[in-house]
Homo-oligomer: A and B are copies of this chain.
Amino acid sequence: MTILENAALVLRCFGNNCTDLTVSEVSERLGLPKASASRLLKSMRETGMLEEIGGSRRHRPGRMMLNLSAAFRYSSGVIGRARAAVHELSQAFGHTGYVSIRDNRQVLAIADFEGTNALRVGASIGNKLPAERCATGRSLLARLAPAEVALLYPDGPIAERLAPQLDRIRRTGYALSSQETTPGVDGLAVAVGDPVTSEAVSLCLVYPHNLVSDAERNAMIDAMIDSAGGIAEAVGDPLFRAAAERRVPA
């Protein structure tokens, strides 16, 4: 086991309700001898990967990580464009917007833009959501071939519920969720991808269920598909489809 692998395992402990770690916690969570855990954290401290909180024995990621996440977010052409697009959309409609990527069966917001409306949905990045249970996630899943989706969800029930939803997204070009993750909150999502890097991102707007008329929602859908279409054209996404039937009442 190289020290780099162990270091990565330590870093992976962070992020899910875990903002700091001690030597013993690392020793226990990774099953390492105390001695090794102690030396490992020491080395990581010295390299700046970790830093001590105050003068205590608690460790958190070093501040270098702030630069790294910034580098990640700007390294992708699609991501940069998506950020700009969602920022505009968020300002135009006053609702909170996200840019998200999919990581296996989860989606991860990599940028958020708080809305300007008095009543708007709070934004928080870095959290993971199950892909099959939000508009953002489904918009990204809909870019996969049905066979790939089946591979990702071997458990029957989920796949069965998912298939018609994804079909609809593929036809209409956008994904919708209504009070799914959070009561009172609806979401709209459209996905684009870069064929070169094969990275796909989802543009998403979230808004209060009761405050948005059908007309406004349609306007948002149009605007999102427009924006995403621009990105798709710029990066040459062959999978992007502008919605055809979206104005036909359900």
Contacts and interface: CB of A to CB of B under 8 A. Distances in A.
B49 A110 contact: no
Interface in A48-105: 48-49, 53-56, 60-76, 87, 101, 103
A44 interface: yes
A181 interface: no
**Does more than half of chain A's interface fall in helix, strand or loop, or is it mixed?**
mixed
Interface stretch (A143-151, A192-200, A224-232): A192-200
Nearest to A122: B87
A18 interface: yes
Most chain B CB within 10 A, of A4, A44, A69, A108, is at A69
A19 interface: yes
19 contacts: A3-B3, A3-B4, A4-B4, A4-B43, A11-B49, A11-B64, A15-B64, A16-B67, A19-B75, A60-B71, A60-B75, A61-B72, A63-B103, A65-B65, A66-B73, A66-B110, A66-B125, A67-B126, A87-B114
